[in-house]
């Protein structure tokens, strides 16, 4: 696939593709049609997702209306209470939030929500953005089911500039009104199988959805295009291991597509490796490989980097993407990305566009990943054990909220 073909796909998919939406399905069907035009028979594999639509979301602080967006999945509530800015999660700070609407820093993570519930908060406010940006965009956020665990607090999201103004003015009392409809909807993975000489498989994954403010060029249409290119490449040659291509839906909503696939226990038995691609081809930044597996996989990528003359920073860790559910099932997993330095790109925002990408880097990144897959797919035996080392098990426990990182 050349740079002209790549640009055409970026142009064709330059729209918001939130998990479970009609636009996400439109993109899935685009991928299927693209493959069909090349004689490749991909299928859609639907799975259930929680859906919600905000009918009303307001935040009033000391009588002043603050622009906001309500948290999807947080239920319908009206609550008025003292306003508290939570600057830390130490015991003293959490003791101040009982009966209050709490403004927290960063995203609404699992342990933060559990802390708020336990401490008796009655609502929450999150914020994001950059005080130096001209815009005051507000992203649509979601109270994910694995976070809420059936417990709900009304929540809204605001721009960081508004958050700063609230603190400057010494905010005292807040009122959140949230009204929404909630139902069960559907997202889908796109699947293509290229059988090999054995009945064992290497799975290649990339998510094709985006967040609500973003057309997701860098994150992660780059990875989806890489899979299209690799599918075309490997459809023209035989491999020892079969190659299963999985374009995952609803990754941005909590890795939902890859989690849905990895519930297929029978299929997992014959998978020897997961290769995930999430954010490549950027103009700035270095290429990385993150191996959630025994160390030898990381070392193999380092050796290959020197052989191919292609710079790679390899590490053993958990990568926050669709490789993780596979690793959690004991399948060795590696994620490839080109990560940008601060200030040169901004994912999950209006700034995630083709402007942050390099077509030369896209082609080079795809070629290197393809050569790696070629080597693994034609190995006499997969060189990485299908067993997760203890240090990776612990990191997975922390990432998946089974253990708190203290």
pLDDT tens profile 139-171: 999 999 999 999 999 999 999 999 999 999 999
pTM of the model: 0.95
CATH for 3-50+186-399 is 3.40.630.10
pLDDT at 205: 98
pLDDT band at 19 (very low <50, low <70, confident <90, very high): very high
Q: Determine the average pLDDT of the residues in 284-304.
A: 97
Least-confidence region, from 14-28, 122-136, 187-201, 228-242:
122-136
Q: What percent of the chain clears pLDDT 90, i.e. is strictly above it?
A: 95
Fold of the domain built from segment(s) 63-171 = Glucose Oxidase; domain 1 (3.50.30)
pLDDT band at 256 (very low <50, low <70, confident <90, very high): very high
- pLDDT for 269 beyond 90: yes
Q: Determine the average pLDDT of the residues in 30-41.
A: 98
User: CATH 3.50.30.30 occupies which residues in the chain?
Assistant: 63-171
- pLDDT for 103 beyond 90: yes
120: region left, alpha or beta (phi > 0 left; psi from -120 to 50 alpha): left
- Return d(Cα 203, Cα 51) in angstroms, integer: 28
- Return d(Cα 72, Cα 50) in angstroms, integer: 9
pLDDT at 346: 87
- pLDDT for 216 beyond 90: yes
Length of the chain: 406
User: CATH 3.40.630.10 occupies which residues in the chain?
Assistant: 3-50+186-399
């Amino acid at each position: 696939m050349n740079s002209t073909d790549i640009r055409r796909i970026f142009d064709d998919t330059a729209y918001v593709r939130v998990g479970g939406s009609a636009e996400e399905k439109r993109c899935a069907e685009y991928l299927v049609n693209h493959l069909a035009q090349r004689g490749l028979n991909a299928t859609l594999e639907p799975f259930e997702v929680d859906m919600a639509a905000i009918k009303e979301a307001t935040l009033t602080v000391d009588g002043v209306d603050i622009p906001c967006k309500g948290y999807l999945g947080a239920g319908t509530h009206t609550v008025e209470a003292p306003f508290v800015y939570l600057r830390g999660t130490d015991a003293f700070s959490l003791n101040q939030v009982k009966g209050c609407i709490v403004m927290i820093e960063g995203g609404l993570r699992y342990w933060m929500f559990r802390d708020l519930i336990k401490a008796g908060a009655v609502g929450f406010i999150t914020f994001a953005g950059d005080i130096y940006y001209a815009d005051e965009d507000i992203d649509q956020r979601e109270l994910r089911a694995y976070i809420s665990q059936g417990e709900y607090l009304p929540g809204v999201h605001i721009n960081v500039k508004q958050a700063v103004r609230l603190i400057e003015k010494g905010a005292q009392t807040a009122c959140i009104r949230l009204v929404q409809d909630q139902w069960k909807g559907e997202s889908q993975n796109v699947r293509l199988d290229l059988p090999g000489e054995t009945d064992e498989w290497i799975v290649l994954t990339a998510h094709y959805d985006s967040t609500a403010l973003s057309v997701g060029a860098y994150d992660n249409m780059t990875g989806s295009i890489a899979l299209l290119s690799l599918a075309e490449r490997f459809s023209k040659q035989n491999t020892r291991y079969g190659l299963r291509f999985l374009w995952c839906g609803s990754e941005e909503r909590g890795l939902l597509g890859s989690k849905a696939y990895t519930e297929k226990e029978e299929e997992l038995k014959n998978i020897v490796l997961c290769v995930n691609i999430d954010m490549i081809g950027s103009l700035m930044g270095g290429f990385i490989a993150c191996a959630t597996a025994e160390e030898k996989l990381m070392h193999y990528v380092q050796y290959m980097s020197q052989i191919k003359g292609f710079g790679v920073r390899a590490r053993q860790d958990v990568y926050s993407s669709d490789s993780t559910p596979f690793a959690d099932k004991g399948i060795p997993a590696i994620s490839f990305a080109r990560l940008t330095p601060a200030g040169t790109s901004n994912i999950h925002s209006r700034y995630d566009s083709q402007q942050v990408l390099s077509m030369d880097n896209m082609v080079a990144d795809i070629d290197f990943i393809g050569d790696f897959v070629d080597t693994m797919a034609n190995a006499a035996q997969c060189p990485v054990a299908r067993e997760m080392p203890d240090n990776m098990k612990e990191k997975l426990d922390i990432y998946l909220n089974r253990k708190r990182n203290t």
